[in-house]
Amino acid sequence: QDDGKKTELVLKKRTDILDALCSSGSAEHLERVLDVLLAQGELTWEDYQNVQVLPEVQGAGFSSLSSCSNVEEKEETHGTSAQTLLTQRPSLIYKLQDCIDGALKALVQSGHFTSADFDPVQLPIYTPTQQARRLLDLVRSKGESAAAAVLQYIHQKQEAGSSLNEEKLTPPKEVLKYQKKLSSSVCAQSCFLSTYGGTSHMSLDDIYTEGQLELAHECVDVQGPLGLEDIVGTVGTVNEEADTVLVCGEAGSGKSTLLQRLHLLWARGAALQYYLLLFPFSCRRLNSEQRELSVQELLFQHCCWPDREQEEIFQFILDHPHLILFTFDGLDELKQSFSDEHRLCCPTQRAPVHILLFNLIQGSLLKGVRKVVTSRPEAVGPVLKKHLCKEVLLKGFSPNGIDCFVRKHHSDPTVAVKVLESLQANTALLGLCHSPVLCWIVSQCHKELLGCGEGSPQTITDVYLMILQHFFQRQSPPKSTVRLGWQQGHLETILHLGQLAFEGISTTCYIFSGADLEKCDVTEKDICMGFLTQSKDMSSSHSKCYEFLHVTMQCFFAALYIVLSSHTDRYAIPKLFELQELRDTGVSSMCFRSCLPSTDQEEQIVDSEHAVAETPNLQITATFVSGLLSQRHQSLWLHCCSTAMVEKKARQVARCLSKGMQKHFKSIPQPVQGEKKSMHAMPGFVWLIKCIYEMQESRIAKEAMSKLQVDHLKLTYCNIGPVECTALAYVLQHLRNAVGIQLDNNSVGDVGVEQLLPCMHICKSLYLRNNNITDEGIHKLIAKVIQCDNFQKIALFNNKLTDACTQHFSHLLKTRQDFLSLRLGNNNITEEGAKQLAEGLKSNHSLKHLGLWGNKIGDVGAEALASALENSDTLLWLSLVGNGVGSEGAYALANIIRNSTSLEELWLTENCITRAGVECLIEALEHNTHMKSVWLRNNDLSLEEVKEMAQRESRLTF
């Protein structure tokens, strides 16, 4: 009967199981399960061959293998080496994976294999474990004595005392010399931050502040935040066959700085010492490599040239891939998007650099070398994900991180305190500072910030205008006699750099040569302003090149150019806001060259080389254009260009935003009859909202929202942090109907919660599952929503709540007699919290759902809740799953069943209730006809007890 149940379970969970086996994109999980089934005799060899998934290489020598093994199957294998190969398959594969070469050679020596047998085993597309499996399969097909030989080889290896996985080796002298040269070059490249280049030198040691790192996938073994070395380590691995780790984050979230930190620590011998050699690459710089290169040339020419013995050093790398680490910064900035179509296995073959890079990432080249790649999220598609061993999200600074960064930035602590105070007073700005690049600007501009009083920056555009003014005034402090505005005095510089930035954005160019600067009339004086920095180049053979301090700075200058120049074409703004459709407008133009090819043929080329960074950069630029053209800033441009032109452009932007929104709304499907109309945010929705916020004109926000009629707005997994919350609240507050706002699985945090307050009056239910919210955020939220008539439901599953927040909920329950649903699952609420909640519940007569799954309220908590709820005539659903509730708690809860006229479902799964407790529930149910079910799975009950009690009361579910 048990087996029957298991089969049933497998059938029931079929989709989940398939998903678990196949979703990583590698056959490894499936193959491992097959190994175990084979070893346990659950699968015959024949079954195994039918299921086996060999990656498109059937022709490569395996047809002979399967025919041999069919013959073999008929032989008696019991008690033989061949049998051992089967029964110990999983552990043999583990032991073999690092010594395939040796095993093959031993088999040749013993006469069981010929060199022709090497190829089908060592196909370059196979991972080491796959090679081990193929080796065992082939050995099996050769018969008993081959099986004995391979077992003997493994045995000897172990006897020799060397664990097969750990080689103790002393690298050759030349390699050690090279290591020294490489690390001193890496050290020199990484000890200063380029953003501080123009003003003060700031060593990375002095300013580096930990960012927030999270695994993109849920992982049960990982508690708390990840540290720097965890990025490279094995923690959170989802695909063991892959060698590439992706660090994903928005522009300015600190990806380059994080790699820089890793490089520096390695070069100094302070971290990652397992890796003998570390090769850092910047995709931005790889873009300018026009030649075809081999991997060897790529490493030596782009990172560090070995003075001698190149071949020997490269051979060492090939032989010891596990000791090598590569980093690739900014995959999104590469001109070509990732593809795994063009396979390359040979390390000496030359190919275009992006092909090399893609093959290194997927492991067809230099399998076993650890790779860390950074990228913005937009560039990460399913094809790339297939080749990742894990994905780590970099989410900028935490509130503590902001504090820490500001203190490090200012050597004078009183200044630091003043800056921090002014951030606390302006939470919109505080929200912006979660992005390290903005935190840097704000700290850099502390004088402007502290001097601006009421007009403290609210938007991203405000912050960039502040640094613009800061850099200009640093060069030429304002003279009291000359009443020119800072922007007029530097108009030329703005236009020169603007054109450079603009053309760069249009052609995916971030590094500018002398010729590029000349073309845009960028002078030495413009360079001295500090917005450009000299490119760092590992190979240092090129002439001087420049880049903007940060890509967002380039977008800002591009936006200034669009706003101030009379040379951009009149479709520039509409094209900018339409993003992807730039190519469809059919209007050829000087700008956005790469997006607007003039012939079909050209289009094809451009299409395949379409850089992934383009869309996000255009989005950032458009956000700045919105901000720069907002009415608040129009006066800045009074004497810079014609007012009529600026006003016209502002009208264009307003029209684009309104049109963009309407398009979104039109795409919302009609609701199924009987259901509410719900909108899931499409890509670009949050961006449009942010543009509207930059304009700071409520008229535009109102108009944008006037046509949106939905009941539920779903923005789950949309990368929403405090900044997005500010913009959302600014726009959504103008909705005409109250809506449900679902923000599950974002990074709202306490600062974000505070930013949402202005739109709480149009919110009827708020879903904030998994958002890093603490009691502090809840305190502010409840103080607000208590006054919002529409607010009736809240879900806060999986945040950081403790007993300290329950008094606020209690207050809410007491005050609001129309509140319907409170879900606080998976937080840290104990019996004390439950007692507080009970206080509120006693005087509440409206709540229908109460969820406390996965807290720690125990018996005492359950008793408190039960006594508050026993006479409830509204509560329909109560969940105390996984709360350490025992029979004492169950006795108390039985009183709700006895007396409440409304409760329909009671969830008590995963507690420690014994028979006595359940008896009490059964007895209570005898007098209750409206109750539908009581869930009791996984409590302290024996199988017999379960069986017997289930028969007595069918509403109990075990």
Interacting residues with ligand ADP (CB under 6 A): 193, 195, 207-209, 211, 249, 251-257, 405, 436-437, 440, 550
CA angle 141, 145, 148 (to 5 degrees): 100
Residue 359 CB-density burial (10 A; 0-12 exposed, 13-18 middle, 19+ buried): buried
Cβ-based nearer residue to ligand ADP, 394 or 850: 394
Local structure of residue 288 (DSSP, 8 states): T
**Which CB atom, from 256 or from 939, has the smaller least distance to ligand ADP?**
256
Least distance to ligand ADP, CB of residue 410, Å? 13
Count of residues for the chain? 958
Least CB distance from residue 549 to ligand ADP, whole Å? 7
Q: Closest distance between ligand ADP and the C-beta of residue 522, in Å?
A: 21
Residue 209: CB minimum distance to ligand ADP, A: 4
Helices then strands, counting H and E runs in the chain, come out as 47, 21
Nearer to ligand ADP, 238 or 439 (CB): 439
Q: Closest separation between CB of residue 324 and ligand ADP, Å? A: 23
Which residue type does 805 have?
C
The residue type found at 522 is V
Which CB, 209 or 872, lies closer to ligand ADP?
209
Return the number of the residue (247 or 527) whose C-beta is nearest ligand ADP. 247
- Smallest distance from ligand ADP to CB 257, Å: 3
**Cα(326)–Cα(368) distance, integer angstroms:** 11
**Residue 211 C-beta: closest distance to ligand ADP, Å:** 5
- Neighbour tally for 152: CB within 10 Å: 13
β-strand pairing of 532-534 with 546-548: antiparallel
- Cβ(198)–Cβ(533) below 8 Å: yes
Q: Which two tokens stand for residue 351?
A: 């190919």
Distance of CA 937 to the CA centre of its chain: 35
Smallest CA-to-CA distance from 241 within 17, 21, 27 is with 27
What is the C-alpha to C-alpha distance for residues 336 and 328, in angstroms, rounded to an integer? 14
Structure tokens at 303: 């990172």
**Tokens at residue 874, please?**
């509204």
Burial 803-824 (b: 16+ CB within 10 A, else e): bbbbbbbbbbbbebeebbbbbb
- CA geometry: angle 129, 131, 132, nearest 5 deg: 65
| Nearer CB in complex with ligand ADP: 394/695 | 394
Residue pair 295/366 in contact (Cβ under 8 Å)? The answer is yes
In the bound state with ligand ADP, the residue whose beta carbon lies nearer, of 211 and 752, is: 211
Alpha-carbon gap, residue 387 to 241, rounded angstroms? 8
CB closer to ligand ADP out of 258 and 894: 258
CB nearer to ligand ADP: pick between 405 and 512? 405
State the Cα–Cα distance between residues 248 and 373, nearest whole angstrom: 8
Alpha carbons 856 and 826: distance in angstroms, whole number: 9
As to burial, measured by CB atoms within 10 angstroms (0-12 exposed, 13-18 middle, 19+ buried), residue 827 is buried
**What is the full DSSP assignment across 632-698?**
HHHGGGTTTS-HHHHHHHHHHHHHHHHHHHHHHHHTSPPPPTTSPPEEEPPTTHHHHHHHHHHHT-H
Mention every residue, 6+ apart, whose C-beta is less than 8 A from residue 533: 194, 195, 197, 198, 546, 547, 548, 549
Query: Which CB sits closer to ligand ADP, 252 or 660?
Result: 252
| Helices 749-756, 722-732: crossing angle, 10 deg rounding | 10
Residue type, position 501, single letter: A
Distances (CA, A) of 508 to 234, 554, 598, 888, 892: 34, 11, 18, 67, 67
Other beta carbons within 10 Å of 86: 21
Residue 647 makes CB contacts below 8 A (sequence gap 6+) with 634
In whole angstroms, how close is the CB of 290 to ligand ADP at the nearest point? 25
Nearest-5° angle of CA 438, CA 441, CA 443? 110
Q: With respect to ligand ADP, which residue has the nearer C-beta, 379 or 437?
A: 437
* Closest to ligand ADP by CB, 150 or 423: 423
- For ligand ADP, the closer of residues 86 and 553 by Cβ is 553
Q: Minimum CB separation from ligand ADP for residue 906, in Å?
A: 48
Report residue 858 as tokens: 């125990």
Q: How far is the CB of 263 from ligand ADP (least distance, A)?
A: 12
Smallest gap from Cβ 376 to ligand ADP, in A, equals 8
> Residue 371 is inside which H or E element, if any?
strand 370-375
Minimum CB–partner distance for residue 441 and ligand ADP (Å): 9
CB of 466 to ligand ADP, least distance (A): 15
Residue 650 CB, shortest distance to ligand ADP, in Å, is: 29
Q: Which is nearer to ligand ADP, 243 or 250 (CB)?
A: 250
| Least CB distance to ligand ADP at residue 258 (A) | 6
Residue nearest to ligand ADP (CB): 254
To the nearest whole angstrom, how small is the minimum distance from the Cβ of residue 505 to ligand ADP? 15
Closest CA to 506 of 613, 569, 595: 595
Between 140 and 434, CB nearer to ligand ADP = 434
Q: DSSP labels for 559-623?
A: HHHHHH-S-S-TTHHHHHHHGGGGGGG----STTGGG--SSHHHHHHHHHT--TTHHHHHHHHHH
- Min dist. Cβ of residue 435 to ligand ADP (A): 8
Closer CB to ligand ADP, 436 or 884, in the complex? 436
Nearer to ligand ADP, 440 or 907 (CB): 440
Nearest distance from C-beta of residue 540 to ligand ADP, angstroms? 21
Residue nearer to ligand ADP on the CB measure, 384 or 773: 384
Q: 3-state SS string over 802-838?
A: EHHHHHHHHHHHHHCCCCCEEECCCCECEHHHHHHHH
